[in-house]
């Protein structure tokens, strides 16, 4: 829904190699539109699956985003969970309004690290725009993974599995962080319902 009013984000999403439904309503609409099977693929599960693969295959991973405290706990947790995981790049850029601008030295550090996988946890739409701007020149796979850093580090409690299954993860996040989430879920969820309804009824 953010992309409806942000052409830069819309272009970033349209030009991505893959875009996954990370919430039940999006997956439901995808099934209705396409007539094919579709399911939710949360960002944190993508991180776990790739870290498992990387540890087994000797591939290097890196992380961009969040704060030093969260990053440290994230790497500790994943390294303990996946024996042999090679985390060779970590960066927590200082907060800046609008899009994150990276220097040539910062980008060179990513390329020189030799990583195969870079997880970007800057939040939407900043992470999508950063990948669209810099991702193709890094020589690695770049993945925008949303709240995965917070959940996998343990700094923020993840919604219970049963709430995820029933598409209620947004309720949990709203109740636990109303100041940050109210506009995202109350305003943009409402816009999504209106837009999806119009699309299904009129094919718009």
> Quick one: tokens of 11?
């272009």
Work out the pLDDT band at 204, boundaries 50, 70, 90: low
Kindly state whether residue 180 falls inside one of the protein's structural domains: no
Kindly state whether residue 31 falls inside one of the protein's structural domains: no
Decide if 22 contacts 42 (C-beta within 8 A): yes
Strands, sheet with 117-121, edge to edge from the N-terminal-most edge strand: 86-91, 60-65, 117-121, 141-144
Kindly state whether residue 200 falls inside one of the protein's structural domains: no
Domain that holds residue 98: 43-157
Total-model pTM: 0.88
Kindly state whether residue 115 falls inside one of the protein's structural domains: yes
Rounded Cα distance between 73 and 124, Å, is 22
Q: Give the pLDDT confidence score for residue 169 in this predicted structure.
A: 80
Looking at residue 19, the DSSP 8-state letter turns out to be -
Domains held by the chain: number: 1
CATH number where 58 lies: 3.40.50.2300
Rounded Cα distance between 204 and 192, Å, is 13
Kindly state whether residue 4 falls inside one of the protein's structural domains: no
- Per-residue pLDDT of 21-67, as tens digits, reads 888 888 888 888 888 888 888 899 999 999 999 999 999 999 999 99
Decide if 47 contacts 118 (C-beta within 8 A): no
- Per-residue pLDDT of 125-170, as tens digits, reads 999 999 999 999 999 999 999 889 999 999 988 888 888 777 788 7
> Quick one: tokens of 189?
């969820």
Rounded Cα distance between 160 and 41, Å, is 15
Kindly state whether residue 145 falls inside one of the protein's structural domains: yes
Q: Please compute the mean of the pLDDT values over residues 99-110 and round it to a whole number.
A: 95
Decide if 135 contacts 19 (C-beta within 8 A): no
Rounded Cα distance between 61 and 63, Å, is 7
Kindly state whether residue 7 falls inside one of the protein's structural domains: no
Kindly state whether residue 67 falls inside one of the protein's structural domains: yes
């Amino acid at each position: 829904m953010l992309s409806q009013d942000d052409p830069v984000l819309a272009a970033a999403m349209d030009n991505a190699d893959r875009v996954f439904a990370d919430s039940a309503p999006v997956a439901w609409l995808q099934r209705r539109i396409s007539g094919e099977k579709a399911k939710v693929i949360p960002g944190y599960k993508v991180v776990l699956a790739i870290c498992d693969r990387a540890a087994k295959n000797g591939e290097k991973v890196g992380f961009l985003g969040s704060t030093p405290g969260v990053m440290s706990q994230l790497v500790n947790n994943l390294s303990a969970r996946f024996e042999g995981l090679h985390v060779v790049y970590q960066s927590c850029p200082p907060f800046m309004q609008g899009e994150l601008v990276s220097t040539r030295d910062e980008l060179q550090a990513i390329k020189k690290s030799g990583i195969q996988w870079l997880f970007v946890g800057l939040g939407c739409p900043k992470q999508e725009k950063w990948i669209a701007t810099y991702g193709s020149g890094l020589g690695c796979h770049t993945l925008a993974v949303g709240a995965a850093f917070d959940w996998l580090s343990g700094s923020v409690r993840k919604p219970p599995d049963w709430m995820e299954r029933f598409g209620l993860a947004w309720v949990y996040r709203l109740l636990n962080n109303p100041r940050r989430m109210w506009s995202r879920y109350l305003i943009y969820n409402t816009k999504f319902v209106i837009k999806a309804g119009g699309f299904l009824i009129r094919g718009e």
